[in-house]
Amino acid sequence: MSTERKVAVITGASQGIGAGLVRGYLDKGYRVVANSRSVTPHASPDVLAVAGDIADPAVAERVIGEAVAKFGRVDTLVNNAGMFIGKPFTEYTPADFAAKISLNLAGFFYVSQHAIRQMLKQGGGHVVNVTTTLVGQPVKGVPAALASLTKGGLDAVTRSLAIEYADKGIRVNAVAPGVIKTPMHTPETLATLAGLHPVGRLGEVSEVVDAVLYLESAPFVTGETLHVDGGAHAGHW
Protein backbone atom coordinates (compact mmCIF):
# COMPACT_ATOMS: atom_id res chain seq x y z
CA MET A 1 0.00 0.00 0.00
CA SER A 2 1.36 3.41 -0.98
CA THR A 3 0.96 6.19 1.55
CA GLU A 4 2.39 8.97 -0.62
CA ARG A 5 -0.89 10.36 -1.93
CA LYS A 6 -2.67 12.69 0.46
CA VAL A 7 -5.91 11.70 2.14
CA ALA A 8 -8.92 13.88 2.97
CA VAL A 9 -11.68 12.91 5.40
CA ILE A 10 -15.01 14.60 4.64
CA THR A 11 -18.06 14.42 6.90
CA GLY A 12 -21.59 15.00 5.67
CA ALA A 13 -20.34 13.63 2.36
CA SER A 14 -23.43 12.02 0.83
CA GLN A 15 -24.98 15.05 -0.89
CA GLY A 16 -24.76 18.77 -1.54
CA ILE A 17 -21.55 20.48 -0.45
CA GLY A 18 -20.15 17.24 0.98
CA ALA A 19 -20.55 15.33 -2.28
CA GLY A 20 -19.00 18.27 -4.12
CA LEU A 21 -16.03 18.20 -1.76
CA VAL A 22 -15.50 14.49 -2.45
CA ARG A 23 -15.32 15.22 -6.19
CA GLY A 24 -13.10 18.25 -5.64
CA TYR A 25 -10.52 16.38 -3.58
CA LEU A 26 -10.53 13.45 -5.99
CA ASP A 27 -9.85 15.87 -8.85
CA LYS A 28 -6.97 17.27 -6.79
CA GLY A 29 -5.43 13.80 -6.61
CA TYR A 30 -6.37 12.96 -3.04
CA ARG A 31 -7.79 9.75 -1.71
CA VAL A 32 -11.00 10.44 0.20
CA VAL A 33 -12.77 8.98 3.21
CA ALA A 34 -16.44 9.94 2.95
CA ASN A 35 -18.71 9.82 5.98
CA SER A 36 -22.39 10.38 6.59
CA ARG A 37 -25.22 8.37 8.07
CA SER A 38 -26.49 7.51 4.58
CA VAL A 39 -23.25 7.31 2.61
CA THR A 40 -23.00 4.40 0.18
CA PRO A 41 -20.01 2.66 -1.43
CA HIS A 42 -18.33 4.79 -4.12
CA ALA A 43 -17.40 3.64 -7.60
CA SER A 44 -13.84 4.94 -7.24
CA PRO A 45 -11.26 2.77 -5.43
CA ASP A 46 -9.84 6.05 -4.10
CA VAL A 47 -12.96 6.65 -1.99
CA LEU A 48 -13.65 4.79 1.23
CA ALA A 49 -17.23 5.21 2.45
CA VAL A 50 -17.68 4.92 6.22
CA ALA A 51 -21.32 5.16 7.26
CA GLY A 52 -22.46 6.31 10.67
CA ASP A 53 -23.43 9.27 12.84
CA ILE A 54 -20.25 11.35 13.21
CA ALA A 55 -21.56 12.71 16.53
CA ASP A 56 -21.08 9.20 17.99
CA PRO A 57 -17.57 8.97 19.51
CA ALA A 58 -17.23 5.37 18.31
CA VAL A 59 -18.06 6.36 14.72
CA ALA A 60 -15.61 9.25 14.83
CA GLU A 61 -12.86 6.91 15.99
CA ARG A 62 -13.78 4.37 13.30
CA VAL A 63 -13.70 6.96 10.51
CA ILE A 64 -10.13 8.00 11.28
CA GLY A 65 -9.05 4.45 12.11
CA GLU A 66 -10.34 3.09 8.80
CA ALA A 67 -8.73 5.99 6.94
CA VAL A 68 -5.35 5.07 8.38
CA ALA A 69 -5.87 1.33 7.90
CA LYS A 70 -6.91 1.74 4.24
CA PHE A 71 -4.79 4.66 3.06
CA GLY A 72 -2.10 5.00 5.72
CA ARG A 73 -2.59 8.65 6.65
CA VAL A 74 -4.94 11.61 7.20
CA ASP A 75 -3.84 14.94 5.74
CA THR A 76 -7.07 16.92 5.79
CA LEU A 77 -10.32 16.79 7.72
CA VAL A 78 -13.29 18.79 6.43
CA ASN A 79 -15.96 19.09 9.11
CA ASN A 80 -18.88 19.60 6.77
CA ALA A 81 -21.63 17.67 8.60
CA GLY A 82 -24.23 19.95 10.14
CA MET A 83 -27.87 20.94 10.25
CA PHE A 84 -29.91 24.14 10.23
CA ILE A 85 -33.14 24.58 12.16
CA GLY A 86 -34.65 28.03 11.66
CA LYS A 87 -37.17 28.97 14.33
CA PRO A 88 -37.88 31.92 16.62
CA PHE A 89 -35.68 31.46 19.69
CA THR A 90 -38.52 30.74 22.10
CA GLU A 91 -39.94 28.01 19.83
CA TYR A 92 -36.86 25.78 19.86
CA THR A 93 -37.55 22.51 21.65
CA PRO A 94 -35.21 20.44 23.82
CA ALA A 95 -35.06 17.98 20.90
CA ASP A 96 -33.97 20.78 18.54
CA PHE A 97 -31.26 21.84 20.98
CA ALA A 98 -30.00 18.29 21.50
CA ALA A 99 -29.91 17.58 17.76
CA LYS A 100 -27.98 20.74 16.94
CA ILE A 101 -25.47 20.30 19.76
CA SER A 102 -24.98 16.67 18.79
CA LEU A 103 -24.29 17.11 15.08
CA ASN A 104 -22.82 20.60 14.88
CA LEU A 105 -20.55 20.36 17.93
CA ALA A 106 -20.05 16.71 18.90
CA GLY A 107 -19.82 15.96 15.18
CA PHE A 108 -16.81 18.25 15.05
CA PHE A 109 -15.26 17.45 18.42
CA TYR A 110 -14.56 13.73 18.43
CA VAL A 111 -13.46 13.28 14.83
CA SER A 112 -11.22 16.36 15.05
CA GLN A 113 -9.51 14.95 18.14
CA HIS A 114 -8.71 11.69 16.36
CA ALA A 115 -7.66 13.43 13.16
CA ILE A 116 -5.33 15.86 14.94
CA ARG A 117 -3.74 13.02 16.90
CA GLN A 118 -2.95 11.33 13.59
CA MET A 119 -1.69 14.58 12.06
CA LEU A 120 0.66 15.08 15.02
CA LYS A 121 2.17 11.65 14.31
CA GLN A 122 2.65 12.63 10.66
CA GLY A 123 4.07 16.08 11.40
CA GLY A 124 1.27 18.18 9.93
CA GLY A 125 -2.20 18.44 8.46
CA HIS A 126 -5.18 20.69 7.83
CA VAL A 127 -8.65 20.99 9.38
CA VAL A 128 -11.44 22.97 7.69
CA ASN A 129 -14.69 23.73 9.50
CA VAL A 130 -17.80 24.62 7.52
CA THR A 131 -19.75 27.24 9.47
CA THR A 132 -22.27 29.87 8.27
CA THR A 133 -22.17 33.54 7.43
CA LEU A 134 -25.01 34.06 9.94
CA VAL A 135 -22.45 33.70 12.75
CA GLY A 136 -21.03 37.13 11.98
CA GLN A 137 -23.97 38.79 10.25
CA PRO A 138 -27.43 37.80 11.49
CA VAL A 139 -30.30 38.65 9.15
CA LYS A 140 -33.61 40.10 10.33
CA GLY A 141 -36.34 37.64 9.45
CA VAL A 142 -34.00 34.64 9.46
CA PRO A 143 -34.13 33.39 13.06
CA ALA A 144 -31.05 31.26 13.59
CA ALA A 145 -30.02 31.37 17.25
CA LEU A 146 -29.03 27.71 17.39
CA ALA A 147 -26.95 28.08 14.24
CA SER A 148 -25.15 31.02 15.85
CA LEU A 149 -24.70 29.11 19.09
CA THR A 150 -23.23 25.99 17.49
CA LYS A 151 -21.56 27.19 14.30
CA GLY A 152 -20.32 30.22 16.22
CA GLY A 153 -18.50 27.75 18.45
CA LEU A 154 -16.81 26.25 15.40
CA ASP A 155 -15.81 29.71 14.20
CA ALA A 156 -14.19 30.48 17.55
CA VAL A 157 -12.46 27.12 17.94
CA THR A 158 -10.99 27.48 14.46
CA ARG A 159 -8.82 30.34 15.69
CA SER A 160 -8.10 28.64 19.01
CA LEU A 161 -6.84 25.45 17.36
CA ALA A 162 -4.94 27.39 14.69
CA ILE A 163 -2.87 29.02 17.43
CA GLU A 164 -2.53 25.85 19.48
CA TYR A 165 -1.14 23.80 16.61
CA ALA A 166 0.58 26.36 14.38
CA ASP A 167 4.03 25.26 15.50
CA LYS A 168 3.13 21.60 14.92
CA GLY A 169 2.48 22.04 11.19
CA ILE A 170 -1.30 21.76 11.54
CA ARG A 171 -3.43 24.50 10.02
CA VAL A 172 -7.08 25.11 10.99
CA ASN A 173 -9.40 27.24 8.87
CA ALA A 174 -13.12 27.73 8.26
CA VAL A 175 -15.43 28.44 5.35
CA ALA A 176 -18.63 30.38 6.07
CA PRO A 177 -21.16 29.92 3.27
CA GLY A 178 -24.29 31.90 2.65
CA VAL A 179 -27.28 30.07 1.19
CA ILE A 180 -26.03 27.52 -1.33
CA LYS A 181 -28.14 26.04 -4.12
CA THR A 182 -28.69 22.42 -3.09
CA PRO A 183 -31.68 20.04 -3.32
CA MET A 184 -32.64 20.92 0.27
CA HIS A 185 -34.11 24.21 -1.02
CA THR A 186 -37.43 23.94 -2.86
CA PRO A 187 -37.78 25.86 -6.15
CA GLU A 188 -40.41 28.25 -4.76
CA THR A 189 -37.99 29.50 -2.08
CA LEU A 190 -35.03 30.25 -4.35
CA ALA A 191 -35.92 33.85 -5.24
CA THR A 192 -36.40 34.80 -1.59
CA LEU A 193 -33.18 33.09 -0.55
CA ALA A 194 -31.27 34.80 -3.36
CA GLY A 195 -32.34 38.14 -1.89
CA LEU A 196 -30.40 37.38 1.29
CA HIS A 197 -27.15 38.11 -0.59
CA PRO A 198 -26.03 41.51 -1.87
CA VAL A 199 -25.07 39.98 -5.22
CA GLY A 200 -28.67 38.83 -5.63
CA ARG A 201 -28.18 35.11 -6.19
CA LEU A 202 -27.56 31.87 -4.38
CA GLY A 203 -24.12 30.36 -4.09
CA GLU A 204 -23.13 27.24 -5.99
CA VAL A 205 -21.71 24.10 -4.41
CA SER A 206 -18.67 24.48 -6.66
CA GLU A 207 -17.94 27.90 -5.14
CA VAL A 208 -17.76 26.45 -1.62
CA VAL A 209 -15.56 23.63 -2.90
CA ASP A 210 -13.26 26.16 -4.58
CA ALA A 211 -12.93 28.03 -1.27
CA VAL A 212 -11.99 24.89 0.64
CA LEU A 213 -9.47 23.91 -2.03
CA TYR A 214 -7.98 27.41 -1.96
CA LEU A 215 -7.36 27.00 1.77
CA GLU A 216 -5.89 23.58 1.04
CA SER A 217 -3.30 25.14 -1.26
CA ALA A 218 -2.50 28.16 0.96
CA PRO A 219 0.17 27.03 3.47
CA PHE A 220 0.58 30.51 5.01
CA VAL A 221 -3.14 30.77 5.84
CA THR A 222 -4.39 29.50 9.20
CA GLY A 223 -7.02 30.71 11.65
CA GLU A 224 -8.96 32.21 8.73
CA THR A 225 -12.72 32.23 8.17
CA LEU A 226 -13.32 32.58 4.43
CA HIS A 227 -16.79 33.88 3.60
CA VAL A 228 -18.54 32.51 0.52
CA ASP A 229 -21.76 34.44 0.86
CA GLY A 230 -22.17 36.93 -1.95
CA GLY A 231 -21.06 39.78 0.32
CA ALA A 232 -23.58 39.13 3.11
CA HIS A 233 -20.93 39.32 5.84
CA ALA A 234 -19.83 42.81 4.76
CA GLY A 235 -22.83 44.64 6.22
CA HIS A 236 -26.42 45.70 5.69
CA TRP A 237 -27.78 46.36 2.20
Cα separation, 127 vs 154, whole angstroms: 11
Task: Name the residue ranges covered by the structural domains of the chain.
Answer: 7-230
Contacts of 10 (CB under 8 A, 6+ apart): 18, 21, 22, 25, 32, 33, 34, 35, 78, 80
What pLDDT score does 237 carry?
67
Q: What is the pLDDT of residue 1?
A: 45
Longest dimension (CA), the chain: 54
Architecture of domain 7-230: 3-Layer(aba) Sandwich (3.40)
- The pTM assigned to this predicted structure is 0.95
Q: Note down pLDDT in tens along the chain; length 237 residues.
A: 445 899 999 999 999 999 999 999 999 999 999 999 999 999 899 999 999 999 999 999 999 999 999 999 999 999 999 999 989 999 999 999 999 999 999 999 999 999 999 999 999 999 999 999 999 998 888 889 999 999 999 999 999 999 999 999 999 999 999 999 887 778 878 888 898 898 989 999 999 999 999 999 999 999 999 999 999 999 876
Write down the pLDDT at residue 26.
Answer: 98
